[in-house]
């Protein structure tokens, strides 16, 4: 999340009651989770395992639960509970104020856009021109929809990220990391019926221009989908993943988090992508491999009985 | 389903026109399907293959289409069509009276709960305090929601069980077993967007405290999910299954019916669970195996060509 | 799509500005895509690769971007952009006029049908008797629902086909082929919660009498499902496929496009069907094979280490 305007780090330290160390003159431009953090951003870390990564990330300001050494120009904000401090900042700068009207007065809808009955449009949503939103579509706060976008019935844009802080010494193990990101849908995107596109937990989920999605598709928080992609029914993509341009995912493909699928890749139905894969190729399997290699494997498996007979004398 | 108060078995026999044999003094406490039946309950059986199981189950009262021997203290209610008798009882004690208001007058909603626009809350629904229901959520009759529960947009709680009586000698092979169970969602549960949680066909579907679910998840009738479980997007769980505490199911995992997944189990994405599995372990595959063993299998398969060459002389 | 009454081919030629060759006296009965085309229909083709197939299909009238030889009795309508001509005809004969009322005045609903709150019923929808539509159901223009049909909450009937014309030399690679087909749901069908059934792109999507579907199921455009089928949760079926009577698909099964699954077939959970398969058998795997053969394969794979040891001397 970008703040509306940069905030002095001293203000942030005061809001969360932190001991401020290092660069006390800095201006904080936004808050982000580790995978998406940029210069000027605030990030948080509460486990020694991730101290190094966080302190050496692009983040200029680090909320942390222990004094540590850190590069010059950066600042540490030391608190007992960095996760609680994060929540405090998000709730301060982007509080959840649910709109109780079907179409919020603070939203804007461009000329020529058709909003069919029972569509919900939340606070500060911006919708472009010549879109069609079918019945029962839900577009939640702060999302941005381009021009010529079609969203079919029952689809949800901007549901909260599935992102939790886990501590097994609490009664409630998982505590939600409040989402302050958005969903941005570019021009000429079409999204099928009963899909769900989560907002970024702290960055944005982006669907590139000209991408077309079938029904019952799930796109996780902070995921970036390129231009002119084609996703068939029931595809699921986890959070903070990058799908480059012109990628084709056939039905029921699953894609794991924080990976990249290269440009022009084609993934056959029901495959599972668990690590980054290069573009320009065709894949199959769970986990995926080169589709042709995978097909050959099926043939090899069928030859085991013959091998067995030859080696062992009989089946 | 528990009856509001125990009903004399003679009343039941009269409602369904049954010949009553055995314990005619008994009070019936409820009606249940075979997997969930308890002492005092009424169950039904219409196929000789299941006579024994049903008569020796915990059920005290058995609706059956043939006189058979049965243990002392129990009663048989003999009718030509036990399934029709079951429907008659359910329709008598829990008739379907659809509420035509968005929020039924017979429902109750606790203090601090935010009900966003276009949420449907059916008859006799009880909702706790400090919940958030996003737009287009549907909570159907008799369901019970705890405190601090978040349900994201478009999710359906209490849809009917997918449970049919099959007879291929009818034009319509499948006849629906009317659901009379509920969905019970405990405190601090969070459910993603466009999920579906079916009510129990005759018992309850229960989601344990602190469990978190992502989007587009399906939970079948009478299934019991433990506390602090984590289910990623597009997970599907069939009916009458038990998921113990702290179980993690990654994306697109499928779980079959009437089985148990033990405490602390972790199941990798796209896996399929068809039989009960022990807790405390990591699983992968369809059907699932120990994840490490499964990974080794992938390596072994890649070695077949080498074996072939050695044994057969060439590829 | 059938036209309301046959249209002279000269009228069509005039609407799209085509050069008309061959049978100029013909009456056009409808427009269809190649997989579903019938005698009297208009079809279109814009790629030399498909010229032959289209000209020799059942279509009597062919919109094409090049003069070619063609069988007697047929007519060619030559235009520069056949796809644009197709869109023009569809928009002329079935323009998208979204109904802004929850229940369109041009729809009809039979006696005894229960329409719960927040159900959307579009233009020219016909609904039979004694149906139940749960909250937040969406039934879009021109769909036809039989008698005794139950549709659970959040389900979408008649979303647009996922069907695009692809040209990578445009900024927007995929251009939508406007759907002019319908969804027809026969008597005694039951559809679970948050399902999506796409309308035919130019023909009809049909769900046969007595078929029962669980939740979160996707059925593609122009697909024909037989009678008394049973589909468990999260099944996905692509477009223009035929599922014959009494077929059982277990949870998360995926079925590809333009194939046929024979009568009485049973497909185990998470399987993937990519080619036509015969009826009366049980299948498993992705891609599917005979279930018993597939199970044996799992056993053979487990024997590879033994083979290796025997042949190679050690693991």
DSSP letter string, B87-154: HHHHHHHS------SSB-TT-EE-TT-EE-TT-EE-TT-EE-SS-EE-TT-EE-TT-EE-SS-EE-TT
Distance between CA atoms of residues C274 and C279, nearest Å: 15
Q: What is the pLDDT of residue A95?
A: 94
- Looking at CA atoms only, how far is residue C175 from chain A in angstroms? 9
**Rounded to the nearest 10 degrees, how much is the dihedral formed by the CA atoms of A69, A70, A72, A78?**
-90
**Mean of the per-residue pLDDT values of chain B:** 96
The span from the CA of B258 to the CA of B201, in Å, is 13
Chain A hits for C304, Cβ within 8 Å: 304
Residue C24 CB-half CA count within 13 A = 7
Question: What's the rounded Cα separation, in Å, for the pair C190 and C63?
Answer: 40
For residue range B203-219, list pLDDT tens digits in order.
999 999 999 999 999 99
Between the two ends of chain A, the Cα-to-Cα distance in Å is: 63
CB C154 within 8 A of CB A154: yes
Please name the residue of chain C whose CA is at the shortest distance from the CA of residue A306.
C300
Mean pLDDT of all residues in B125-137: 98
**Are A215 and A152 spatial neighbours (Cβ–Cβ below 8 Å)?**
yes
Predicted local distance difference test score (pLDDT) of residue B33: 82
d(CA C268, CA B52): 29
**Residues of chain C neighbouring B154 (CB-CB closer than 8 A):** 136, 154, 194
Name B145's bridge partners: B127, B185
A33: confidence class by pLDDT, cuts 50, 70, 90 = confident
CB pairs under 8 A between A and B: 139
Nearest to A304 among C154, C236, C304 (CB): C304
Query: C307 φ, ψ to 5°?
Result: -60, -45
Alpha-carbon gap: C312 to the closest alpha carbon of chain B (Å):
8
Q: Give pLDDT tens digits for A51-87.
A: 999 999 999 999 999 999 999 999 999 999 999 999 9
**Residue appearing with tokens 């994840």:** B291
Q: Would you say the ipTM is above 0.85?
A: yes
Q: Which of C154, C162, C194 comes nearest A214 by C-beta? A: C162
Of A116, A152, A194, the CB nearest to C98: A116
Average pLDDT over every residue of A144-157:
98
CA distance A235 to A255: 8
**Cα-to-chain-centroid distance, residue A136:** 23
pLDDT > 90? residue A313 = no
Q: Which residues of B touch C131 (CB under 8 A)?
A: none
Residues carrying CATH 3.40.1390.10, chain C? 2-93
CB-based contacts of C140: which residues, under 8 Å, 6+ apart? A134, A153, C120, C122, C125, C156, C157, C158, C159, C199
3-state SS, residue C308: helix
The span from the CA of B120 to the CA of C168, in Å, is 45
Which residue has 């193990």 as its token pair? Answer: A173
Burial A298-308 (b: 16+ CB within 10 A, else e): eebbeebeebb
Burial of B202 (0-12, 13-18, 19+ CB in 10 A): buried
**C195: closest CA of chain B, how far (Å):** 10
Enzyme catalytic residues of B: 221
**pLDDT on residue C315:** 58
Contact C153 B160 (CB under 8 A): no
Query: Mean pLDDT over all residues of chain A?
Result: 96
In the predicted structure, residue A297 carries a pLDDT above the cut 90? yes
CATH architecture assigned to C108-291:
3 Solenoid (2.160)
Q: Which of C117, C173, C240 to mutate to test the interface with A (most CBs of A within 10 A)?
A: C173
HSE toward the beta carbon, residue B81, CA cutoff 13 A: 10
Q: State both tokens at A141.
A: 């706060």
Min Cα–Cα distance to chain A from B257, Å: 21
The count of other CB atoms within 10 Å of the CB of residue B306 is 13
Torsion from C-alpha of B120, B124, B128, B132, nearest 10 degrees: 0
pLDDT tens, chain C, 315 aa long: 999 999 999 999 999 999 999 999 999 999 998 888 999 999 999 999 999 999 999 999 999 999 999 999 999 999 999 999 999 999 999 999 999 999 999 999 999 999 999 999 999 999 999 999 999 999 999 999 999 999 999 999 999 999 999 999 999 999 999 999 999 999 999 999 999 999 999 999 999 999 999 999 999 999 999 999 999 999 999 999 999 999 999 999 999 999 999 999 999 999 999 999 999 999 999 999 999 999 999 999 999 999 999 999 875
- B229 sits in the region (left: phi over 0; alpha: psi -120 to 50; else beta) called beta
By the 8 A CB rule, do A91 and A104 touch?
no
B278-287 mean pLDDT: 98
Nearest CA in chain B to A307: B308
pLDDT at C295: 96
Alpha carbon distances (Å) from A253 to A68, A286, B233, C71, C111: 43, 9, 12, 43, 43
Of A232, A301, A311, the CB nearest to C162: A232
Q: Which residues of A touch C (CB under 8 A)?
A: 114, 116-118, 132, 134-136, 150, 152-154, 188, 190, 192-194, 209-210, 212, 214-216, 228, 230, 232-234, 246, 251-252, 269-270, 286, 301-302, 304-305, 307-308, 311-312
Residue B295, judged by CB atoms within 10 A of its CB (0-12, 13-18, 19+), counts as middle
CA distance C12 to C59: 15
Q: Which residues of B touch C314 (CB under 8 A)?
A: none
The confidence band for B251, taking pLDDT boundaries of 50, 70 and 90, is very high
pLDDT value for C35: 82
Which of A190, A193, A209 minimises the CB distance to C196?
Answer: A193
Three-state DSSP class for residue C53? helix
Distance CA B216, CA B237 (A): 12
How confident is the model over C30-59, as pLDDT tens digits?
Answer: 999 888 899 999 999 999 999 999 999 999
Report pLDDT for B36.
83
Q: What is the reported pLDDT for B315?
A: 58
Give the rounded distance of the alpha carbon of C65 from its chain centre: 26
Task: Residue B269: list chain A partners with CB under 8 A.
Answer: 254, 256, 272, 274, 286
| Strands C164-166 and C144-145, bridge-based pairing | unpaired
Q: How far is A26 from chain B (nearest CA, A)?
A: 37
CA distances (Å), origin C227, targets B121, C52, C186, C257, C302 = 34, 35, 9, 19, 40
What CA–CA distances, in Å, run from C150 to B35, B62, B197, C132? Answer: 26, 30, 17, 5
Q: Which helix (H) or strand (E) holds C3?
A: strand C2-8
pTM of the model: 0.96
Q: How confident is the model at residue A315 (pLDDT cuts 50, 70, 90)?
A: low
Contact B238, B222 (CB under 8 A): no
Q: Hey, CA dihedral for A49, A50, A53, A56, is it positive or negative?
A: negative
Helix (H/G/I), strand (E/B), else coil: C83:
helix
CA–CA separation, B29 vs A25, rounded Å? 71
**Residue C62 β-bridge partners:** C43, C76
| The listed CATH number (3.20.20.70, 3.40.50.740, 3.60.150.10, 3.40.1390.10) that belongs to domain C2-93 | 3.40.1390.10
For residue B47, how far is the Cα from the chain centroid?
22
Q: What is the pLDDT of residues A3-28, one digit of tens each?
A: 999 999 999 999 999 999 999 999 99
Q: Residue C62 in contact with residue C76, Cβ under 8 Å?
A: yes
């Amino acid at each position: 999340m970008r703040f509306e305007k940069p905030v002095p780090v001293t203000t942030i330290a005061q809001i969360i009651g932190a001991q401020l160390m290092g660069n006390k003159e800095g201006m904080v431009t936004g808050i982000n989770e580790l995978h998406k953090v940029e210069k000027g951003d605030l990030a948080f870390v509460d486990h020694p395992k991730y101290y190094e990564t966080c302190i050496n990330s692009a983040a200029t300001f680090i909320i942390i639960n222990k004094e540590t050494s850190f590069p010059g120009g950066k600042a540490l904000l030391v608190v007992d509970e960095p996760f609680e401090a994060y929540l405090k900042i998000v709730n301060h700068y982007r509080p959840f104020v649910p709109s109780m009207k079907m179409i919020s007065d603070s939203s804007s809808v461009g000329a020529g856009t058709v909003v069919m009955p029972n569509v919900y449009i939340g606070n500060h949503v911006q919708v472009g021109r010549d879109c069609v939103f079918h019945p029962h579509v839900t577009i939640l706060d702060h999302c941005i929809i381009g021009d010529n976008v079609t969203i079919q019935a029952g689809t949800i844009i901007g549901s909260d990220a599935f992102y939790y802080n886990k501590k097994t010494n609490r009664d409630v193990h998982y505590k939600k990391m409040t989402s302050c990101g958005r969903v941005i849908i570019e021009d000429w995107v079409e999204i099928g019926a009963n899909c769900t596109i989560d907002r970024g937990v702290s960055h944005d989920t982006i669907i590139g221009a000209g991408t077309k999605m079938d029904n019952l598709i799930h796109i996780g928080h902070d995921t970036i989908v390129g231009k002119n992609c084609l996703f068939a029914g029931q595809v699921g993509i986890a959070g903070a993943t990058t799908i480059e341009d012109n990628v084709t995912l056939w039905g029921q493909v699953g894609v794991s988090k924080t990976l990249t699928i290269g440009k022009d890749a084609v993934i056959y139905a029901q495959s599972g992508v668990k690590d980054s894969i290069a573009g320009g190729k065709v894949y199959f399997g769970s986990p995926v491999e080169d589709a042709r290699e995978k097909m050959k494997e099926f043939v090899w498996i069928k030859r085991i009985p013959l091998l067995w007979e030859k080696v062992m004398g009989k089946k």
